[in-house]
Amino acid sequence: MDLYSAQSSGRLWSVVALGLLGFFVECPARKVCAQTRGKPQQVAVEGCVARDVHSRHFLIHTDLSLGKANDLLERLEAMLVPMAAYWGQPLHGTIECYVIHNLDEFPAVAVAPAGVHAVRTFGGATLMEAKKEGKRQVAKSIVCSSARFEVLQHEVVHAYCHQTFGRLGPVWYSEGMAEMGRFWTAGETAVRAEPREIEFLRSHPPTSLAETLSLAQVTGDCWQNYASRWALCHFLSSNPNYSRQFRQLGRGILAGKDVSFEQTYAATMRPLCFEYLFFLQHIGRGYRVEPCAWNWKKKFACLQAGQIQRVTIAAGRGWQPAGLSARSRMRYAYLAAGTWQIAGAPEAVDPNGDHEGRGRLVGALLNDYRLGPEFELGAKGSLQVETGGDLYLRCRNTWSELAGDRGHVTVSFQLPGECQTACDAPSGGGQ
């Protein structure tokens, strides 16, 4: 979390520390970003071996073993590469970190009081200062963290943004992106949030976008709000329908430009809200946003008598548009050819799926961004619906286990020749 001000020279650490305590009355916080003044001096004491290790971009003061400290450096340097690429700016300066395993024996005078309090109380803090170097104003961050790497990762995101851009942005963005850093693993895009956060996001009524984006929010409120901020940032940064705009929005925020979420997504707010709620309903550890993104560009059409509509449906993806606007009380014949394989299954299956129903071809209808219940199709049969809509299909599997699924099938729909035109107007199922 962050408690940021452009100037810190006139602040007493006792005042800052007391101010931080006020954030935790109603619900416990995780981390705090505060401010520091001056550079703490390392002091050795009996019973604690505090060492300095450094790399190109980091200086770490720690009581961890040399091997563990060097491992931290490697992981932080690896994390910095995609961060700098994402925000389009290399880190300015060196990030200084106090990574403390045993706080009771670590030389207390080496760390600012607010940092000690943060590590002891909720895991870590990023202490921030802005100072003049000649005519330039330079931002400096000092991270104080427990030895839990996820805490250190969260704080390093704050430190990078502060030192590189001199600002963090609104709470929803700064803490949401820092939480993304907390869960970051090289080459991994799947959800890795903690079980309690996943359970909260799935089982509780979703926090509205207006509430999540509110400028009245404060850092350090409660873990439930942190979970909502992370979920929004993870979704927007991972979904190809919205990720490009989200990156531009973030760069604008950190550059101090007059940008906003509402302006950025004004033209796509309805599909965005639909997809975000869908993400929250199905989120789980291992869920990947990108293969579950909805294709809003596909055109839907009504079938004429005798006409055939063909579509290829891939395993390992979410709902995919069939291109068919199904009308009520019309009966469509369908045939699905090909095989696909569920990850971990011994062999491929046809669209009827296995004995547990995994790998079965299923469908659902979308009407005005309202998704109807899932229904079974299989390899061959007929489809008749009571209420029309745009037809979407998928290979059934648990949403968090789609990544390893392979293969595709081709599905053909036909309106029998003796029928009249299936519809006289589009159903408006998508946009």
Residues 121 and 91 in one domain: yes
> What's the confidence (pLDDT) of residue 359?
97
Is there a contact between 365 and 391 (Cβ–Cβ < 8 Å)? yes
**35 occurs within a structural domain:** yes
**423 occurs within a structural domain:** no
Residues 13 and 118 in one domain: yes
**How confident is the model over 113-141, as pLDDT tens digits?**
899 999 998 899 999 988 777 777 788 99
> CA dist 19 to 12, 22, 44, 205, 329, Å?
11, 6, 30, 32, 65
Coil, helix or strand at residue 299: coil
Residues 114 and 213 in one domain: no
Q: How far is Cα of residue 386 from the mean position of the Cα atoms in its chain?
A: 37
The residue among 125, 142, 167 that closes a domain is 167
Range of the domain at 315: 308-414
**84 occurs within a structural domain:** yes
* Cβ-Cβ contacts under 8 Å for 5 (sequence gap 6 or more): 11, 35, 128, 130
**258 occurs within a structural domain:** yes
Residues 146 and 195 in one domain: no
Residues 185 and 52 in one domain: no
Cβ neighbours around 408 below 10 Å, total: 16
> What's the confidence (pLDDT) of residue 129?
87
Is there a contact between 172 and 246 (Cβ–Cβ < 8 Å)? no
Residues 24 and 163 in one domain: yes
The residue among 243, 264, 292 that closes a domain is 292
* Cβ-Cβ contacts under 8 Å for 266 (sequence gap 6 or more): none
Residues 199 and 236 in one domain: yes
Q: Are strands 136-146 and 95-100 parallel, antiparallel or unpaired?
A: parallel
**How confident is the model over 284-293, as pLDDT tens digits?**
999 999 999 9
Residues 226 and 374 in one domain: no
In this structure, which amino acid lies at residue 67?
Answer: G
Q: What percent of the chain has a predicted confidence (pLDDT) above 90?
A: 72
CA 81 to CA 321: how far, in whole Å?
36
The residue among 134, 167, 200 that closes a domain is 167
Residues 275 and 389 in one domain: no
Residues 59 and 175 in one domain: no
**300 occurs within a structural domain:** no
Look-up of token digits 């949030």: 193
> CA dist 406 to 162, 310, 317, 338, Å?
43, 20, 9, 12
**421 occurs within a structural domain:** no
Residues 263 and 321 in one domain: no
**303 occurs within a structural domain:** no
CA 147 to CA 153: how far, in whole Å?
11
* pLDDT tens, N- to C-terminus, the chain (431 residues): 443 222 233 332 222 222 232 222 223 323 334 332 233 334 344 445 789 999 999 999 999 999 999 999 999 999 999 999 999 999 999 999 999 999 988 887 778 889 999 999 889 999 998 877 777 778 899 999 999 999 999 999 999 999 999 999 999 999 999 999 999 998 889 999 999 999 999 999 998 899 999 988 888 889 999 999 999 999 999 999 999 999 999 999 999 999 999 999 999 999 999 999 999 999 999 999 999 999 999 999 999 888 999 999 999 999 999 999 999 989 999 999 999 999 989 999 999 999 999 999 999 999 999 999 999 999 999 999 999 999 999 999 999 999 899 999 999 999 986 555 445 444 444 43
**428 occurs within a structural domain:** no
In this structure, which amino acid lies at residue 27?
Answer: C
* Cβ-Cβ contacts under 8 Å for 115 (sequence gap 6 or more): 34, 36, 98, 125, 127, 142, 144
> CA dist 123 to 31, 93, 100, 155, 346, Å?
6, 24, 10, 10, 45
In this structure, which amino acid lies at residue 358?
Answer: R
Residues 250 and 328 in one domain: no
Task: Return the CATH number at 378.
Answer: 2.60.120.430
> What's the confidence (pLDDT) of residue 111?
85
Query: How many domains is the chain built from?
Result: 3
Is there a contact between 383 and 413 (Cβ–Cβ < 8 Å)? yes
